[in-house]
Amino acid sequence: MNRKVVVLQLLNRVFYKTVGTSLNQYLGDPINILAHFSEYEANEILIMDISDHGSPDFEFLKLLGRHCDMPLSYVGNVRTLTHIQTIINLGFERVLIGGGMYQDPTLVKRAVDKYGTSTIGVIVNYEFKDGKRFIWHKKNLPGEYQLTKNFLSRIASLLVGEIILYCISFDGKRNGFDFDVLSIIPNSVNVNICGGCKSIQQIDESLKLFPMISFSAGTAFSLLPNNSVFLKYDRDLL
């Protein structure tokens, strides 16, 4: 059951496209962009809030929730169950927990218990160092943690609905997905690969090659090779 997911990075109420940890291109007004992808009937839209507010911008999320009639997920600054509940009430079907799980290791389990497998997912950001994958967190983790099958299996055992594996080192570079990471994923959970997408064609080919995996992209759906903004989506494949 795979999907091609549009990732839109939100910074202070504006959508940008990043390359790794740097801002690359201003995409434009979020309401307008959401309306476009809604019209294109995108399989799913993931709002990835990279603002540093400490908590989600609920007032703005309410606006986004009202302007989209396609599946909508959210990740960013989710720290408490109250955050999750508010985001769901604002119209998001799924909430993904990222950095919050490192700050509070009980958060994911408590969230799944209260809101269910179908609502809660996890995003694991990782980077390459010396050819090995390490978990990445913007606030820096105490020590270095390698991304392993054991780590992902532990997350899956909490009955999360989906794990998004987001390769920061590949993000926005259009060199292709990190397919090798598929060798360490557990079978019991939906997995979504994000970071490095070359083109929409690569997503379509990847979906055929890995029918149980979903693929996400930002650049491929929003920028031309010369970096000018051009929103596009073709849902016909699925």
Partner 1 sequence: MICKIINYQTGNINSVISALDNLGLKSIVISCANDLMVNDIVILPGVGSFDTAASNLRDGGFYEYDFIRNRNKVIGICLGFHLMCLDSEEGSLSGLGLLPVHVEDFKGCVEPTLHLGWSSVSSNVDAFRDKHYFCHRFYVTENDYTLASTNRIGNRVSNVVRKDNFWGIQSHPERSGTKGLLLLKEILQNES
Interface positions with partner 1 (CB under 8 A)? 1-3, 38, 41, 43-44, 62, 65-66, 69-72, 85, 88-94, 112-119, 159, 161-162, 187-190, 212, 214, 238
Task: Phi first, then psi: give them for residue 237, nearest 5 degrees.
Answer: -60, -40
Q: Write down the least CB distance from residue 227 to partner 1, Å.
A: 30
Residues in contact with 228: Cβ distance below 8 Å, sequence separation at least 6, in sequence order: none
Q: Write down the least CB distance from residue 92 to partner 1, Å.
A: 7
Task: Phi first, then psi: give them for residue 113, nearest 5 degrees.
Answer: -60, -40
SS3 state at 182:
helix
Nearer to partner 1 by C-beta: 1 or 183? Answer: 1
Residue 183's identity, in one-letter code, is: S
Nearer to partner 1 by C-beta: 62 or 79? Answer: 62
Nearer to partner 1 by C-beta: 40 or 145? Answer: 40
Nearer to partner 1 by C-beta: 163 or 223? Answer: 163
Q: Where are the beta strands (DSSP E) in the chain?
A: 4-11, 14-19, 22-28, 44-49, 72-75, 94-97, 120-129, 132-135, 162-167, 190-194, 213-217
Q: Write down the least CB distance from residue 74 to partner 1, Å.
A: 11
Q: Write down the least CB distance from residue 126 to partner 1, Å.
A: 21
